[in-house]
Amino acid sequence: MKKLILSVSAVFAFGFANAQDKTDNGGQTAKGKWLIEANTGFGAAHSADTAFGLSSVDGETAWSIGAEGGYFIMDDLAIKAGLGYNDMGDDMTAFSYKVGAKYYILSQIPVQVDYSGASYKDADENPSYLGIQGGYAIFLGPNVSIEPGLRFNKSLNDDFYEDVFQVRIGFALHF
């Protein structure tokens, strides 16, 4: 865990050391632009995830796949939606969804708030979460960014699902 935290800290430090001001990012977060994003999730997995993930506990393998897209309704503010598929083993699968907004502070620091959920076949209760995510966007060119960050998912279910904290690395296309 210490190595993971150290690695994430190093990525943040590198990003801040190579910070670009708002005029240098090529307008990737300008009004009218589109965003397509794929995330990797490290840490506790949860069933309403739209990120790529793989974990194995006690011989049981769980994996997820998904993507998100968004449209910038004004400079630095995108409305987003995402879909995913999760396989938790033991014949438990779920389709997940996410809707929310992502704001880039100074066109460089993404902060996201969203609602996510999953749908299980024949389930009495389906999970839902209120998520908040923050990080730093490292623009590699006019259309690509890497966005390392932290995410917290607050369970909205009474007693079945737990809160989830994750370390994320996002890969985004801007056009």
Are 96 and 48 spatial neighbours (Cβ–Cβ below 8 Å)?
yes
Domain 2-174, CATH class in plain words: mainly beta
Read off the amino acid at residue 38: A
Do the strands 77-89 and 60-74 form a parallel or antiparallel pair, or are they unpaired?
Answer: antiparallel
pTM, full prediction: 0.80
Where in the chain are the domains?
Answer: 2-174
Per-residue pLDDT of the chain (175 residues; tens, 9 = 90+): 455 445 444 444 444 444 444 444 558 999 999 999 999 977 666 667 888 988 888 888 888 999 999 999 999 999 999 999 988 877 888 999 999 999 999 999 999 999 999 998 778 888 899 999 999 999 999 899 999 999 999 999 876 678 888 899 999 999 9
Are 28 and 170 spatial neighbours (Cβ–Cβ below 8 Å)?
no
